[in-house]
Amino acid sequence: MATAGILNGTQLVLYVDVSGTKTPVAFATSGNLSINMDTRETTNKESAGWRQLLEATKSWTMEAEGFHAYDNAQFDFKDLFTKLAARTAVDLQFSLGATPAAGDYYYSGSAYITSISLDSPLEDSVTFSCSFEGTGALTETTPS
């Protein structure tokens, strides 16, 4: 049965596939999925001065922020750096749990890590942020 009501943002997690196991991005404090569609110009002399468009390519990105720790078994900054340096795509899933309940749709796809950063403010927790750019289709899946 699908999760009822307005979701708590804590429930929606960005997972990275690590050797067949869905592993959360370490100590994440936020996540973001953005889906876009480009357009192509089709304005012509018969458009009566109005701009006209048609569809073009679709794209998607995911982002996450979290706390940084060295003694961590989750997918962390070190893993992000390794994948980025190797120019290796990762499989991502943005969902309510690694195995979502029936009816709880989720999004997944393959992406390249396009940016990572560490932030170390004085007398505060060390944090990181990362951005992923999708390569190929983003799929929506609803477990039955």
CB of 80 closer than 8 Å to CB of 138: no
Going 106 to 10 to 91 to 128, the CA torsion angle's sign is: positive
CB of 75 closer than 8 Å to CB of 28: no
Q: If residue 77 lies in a helix (H) or strand (E), which one and from where to where? A: helix 77-85
For residue 121, pLDDT beyond 90: yes
pLDDT digits (tens, 9 = 90+) for 60-118: 999 999 999 988 778 999 999 999 999 999 999 999 888 888 889 999 999 999 999 99
27: left (phi over 0), alpha (psi -120 to 50) or beta: left
The predicted structure's pLDDT at residue 73: 76
pLDDT digits (tens, 9 = 90+) for 15-42: 999 999 999 999 999 999 999 999 999 9
The predicted structure's pLDDT at residue 38: 98
